[in-house]
Chain A
């Protein structure tokens, strides 16, 4: 990009069109993942003057649109960083929503010639990528961190301070529902493979059970997260998976009423060994979509639970295959 191109100020509005909303739906379903991109650079919302505030965001349509639509009726500049169409929070973790990019973008766009003040307002969730004191040193611009949610921006702007409430990340039912489509898309291929394999071994009932165990992990688990007992995601997943497996246990127990005791019990216990680890594994993976699990904590979860998942699953499969063979041989 040439220097003159960098200094272009593009006009934008706070109005979301139907095309924007359609784009958001596709983005939430992880369709065309890299296509939800905004051209990085400086944007003018309304008719900004040299006293107008400057807001920083990522070049992901959901981030950019959330910001501009929250600034309805305002005159402001929006500085869009190149995060490769990744949202602010994830890009800050990667470092693309970062100190170097912000400093370089401030210079390249000629922001200091557009505004007389020296303040940029960055989203608080961008803080893991941006060292405010470094930006000050390099560009003389002061970074002020706005609220976590764009919806709180207007209140923030009137007080010029975020309340402790505005500074806290929540992971509400709405937030959790918003990530389910991505979880479903991510779980689709394992679901199809699992269902097909289960069909070959155990017919429709097993196939449906696999689908139920996976859907429990990617749909029911995120919804019920705060209400499932225990703290660890894996433990919550085991419990949920056991609930899903319970009908199978009961039907197997009743269906094999004529079998000898050990065989009847063995068959009944198989679903309890196979399905909870599947749901628990998916639940453990959901830590990556939340906004509160720490890295060292997830690591401890992996060490504690993944071996249990693997053993239960392996023993379950071995019993499923082995029990009929033992019966054939031993009678």
Chain B
């Protein structure tokens, strides 16, 4: 209740992963855990869907529906029926 942020669109496919650790490096919210070359998703609920891990993964082992979490932009898009603009 009162928590809209419990689920995330982040998906990690361990079989594609080569263990390079880039996702671990770029994530600003410590979502991934690294143990040698084994990567796991440790804190999915912290993911802000910034997309850094997906973009920097050389093997496409990660997908995330990224975008700025900007309410004004989303409401504007919903009202006008336009494609979602980015903030700023």
Interface set of A (CB-CB < 8 Å, partner B): 86, 90, 92-94, 124-125, 127-133, 145, 148, 162, 164, 167-169, 230-232, 235, 284-285, 287-288, 290-302, 304, 306
A297 touching B4 in the complex, CB below 8 Å, given contacts A132-B22, A291-B48, A292-B46? yes
Across the two chains, which residue of chain A brings its CB closest to B22? A132
Asked if A127 contacts B26 (CB within 8 A), the reply is: yes
Inter-chain CA distance A250–B26, complex, in Å, is: 51
Asked if A168 contacts B30 (CB within 8 A), the reply is: yes
Judged by a CB distance under 8 angstroms, whether B16 is at the interface is no
When distances are taken between beta carbons in the complex, the residues of chain A under 8 Å from B72 are 285, 288
Interface set of B (CB-CB < 8 Å, partner A): 2-5, 7-9, 22, 25-30, 46-52, 55-56, 58, 65-75, 78, 86-88
A296 touching B49 in the complex, CB below 8 Å, given contacts A124-B28, A288-B72? yes
Asked if A287 contacts B70 (CB within 8 A), the reply is: yes
**Beyond A132-B56, A169-B29, A293-B69, 9 additional pairs, beta carbon < 8 A:** A93-B68, A132-B22, A168-B29, A168-B30, A232-B2, A285-B71, A292-B48, A293-B48, A304-B4
Asked if B71 contacts A294 (CB within 8 A), the reply is: no
When distances are taken between beta carbons in the complex, the residues of chain A under 8 Å from B69 are 287-288, 290, 293-295, 297-298
Q: Which of B46, B47, B51, B87 contacts A128 (CB 8 A)?
A: B51
Q: List 8 A-B contacts (CB under 8 A).
A: A92-B52, A127-B52, A127-B55, A131-B55, A168-B30, A290-B69, A302-B71, A302-B75
A93 touching B86 in the complex, CB below 8 Å, given contacts A145-B26, A168-B30, A284-B71? yes
When distances are taken between beta carbons in the complex, the residues of chain A under 8 Å from B8 are 294, 296-297
When distances are taken between beta carbons in the complex, the residues of chain A under 8 Å from B46 are 292
The minimal Cβ–Cβ distance linking A242 to chain B, given in whole angstroms, is 14
Majority DSSP secondary structure for residues of A touching B:
helix
When distances are taken between beta carbons in the complex, the residues of chain A under 8 Å from B9 are 294-296
The minimal Cβ–Cβ distance linking B11 to chain A, given in whole angstroms, is 12
The minimal Cβ–Cβ distance linking B39 to chain A, given in whole angstroms, is 14
Q: Which of A133, A230, A302 contacts B3 (CB 8 A)?
A: A230
Inter-chain CA distance A301–B5, complex, in Å, is: 9
CB-based closest 8 A-B pairs = A288-B70, A297-B5, A127-B52, A300-B4, A127-B26, A231-B3, A169-B28, A293-B69
Asked if B5 contacts A295 (CB within 8 A), the reply is: no
The minimal Cβ–Cβ distance linking A137 to chain B, given in whole angstroms, is 10
Inter-chain CA distance A54–B44, complex, in Å, is: 33
Inter-chain CA distance A100–B7, complex, in Å, is: 32
Most A CB within 10 A of own CB, among B5, B73, B87: B5
A128 touching B55 in the complex, CB below 8 Å, given contacts A93-B68, A295-B66? yes
Asked if B4 contacts A298 (CB within 8 A), the reply is: yes
Inter-chain CA distance A230–B2, complex, in Å, is: 6
When distances are taken between beta carbons in the complex, the residues of chain A under 8 Å from B71 are 284-285, 287-288, 298, 301-302
A294 touching B5 in the complex, CB below 8 Å, given contacts A128-B50, A168-B30? yes
